[in-house]
Amino acid sequence: MMSGITDCYQPIERKLQLTRGCLQVLAEFRNPVSLITKNALITRDIDVFQELAKYDCVSTCLSVTTLNEELGRKLEPRTSAPRARLKAIEKLAKAGIPVAVNVAPVIPGLTDHEMPAILKAAHEAGASSAGFTPVRLPSTVQPVFVEWLEQHFPERK
């Protein structure tokens, strides 16, 4: 599994191509791999995914938190916009790459109401399965999130 904790398609990946290099090694040895990301940059590696798909060795997943572009910029400012993530799902699906959507994080009172629309949009884009992850606020994350809520949505805190 790649990106189980930290997204392997960080902005620096455009330059360093570490993820792509790892995928190429995995493809060379037909080693199964799953990836989850919030970044449309995943489509850059479609050629490697297609090689892995020949041997049923790849699955991909894009997390979509919201369809609201403004909220998306506030929640996840350094990731691809919701529209770009759906387009990435479409490109992967059209290329024959197994692709899923993960509605994540689901934030009660802020994004939870969007789950049906996100699932519908992802299905229409070609996602073949779906999951969700509720927001988690462990230790040092909680104060950062609470501060963010106070700044952007104090009435929902």
How far, in Å, CA of 57 to CA of 86, rounded?
A: 23
126: phi > 0 → left, psi -120 to 50 → alpha, else beta; which? left
Q: What is the pTM of this model?
A: 0.95
pLDDT over threshold 90, residue 88:
yes
Q: In the predicted model, what is the mean pLDDT of the chain?
A: 96
pLDDT at 62: 98
Strand order in the sheet with 58-64: 33-37, 58-64, 99-106, 129-134
pLDDT over threshold 90, residue 21:
yes
pLDDT in tens, 100-144: 999 999 999 999 999 999 999 999 999 999 999 999 999 999 999
Q: Which CATH architecture has domain 13-156?
A: Alpha-Beta Horseshoe (3.80)
From residue 16, alpha-carbon distances to 59, 94, 142 in Å are: 23, 27, 32
Higher pLDDT, 5 or 132: 132
pLDDT over threshold 90, residue 5:
no
Provide mean pLDDT across the span 74-91.
96
- Confidence category of residue 13, pLDDT binned at 50, 70, 90: very high
pLDDT at 157: 83
Give just the sign of the alpha carbon dihedral 56, 38, 154, 146.
Answer: positive
- Confidence category of residue 18, pLDDT binned at 50, 70, 90: very high
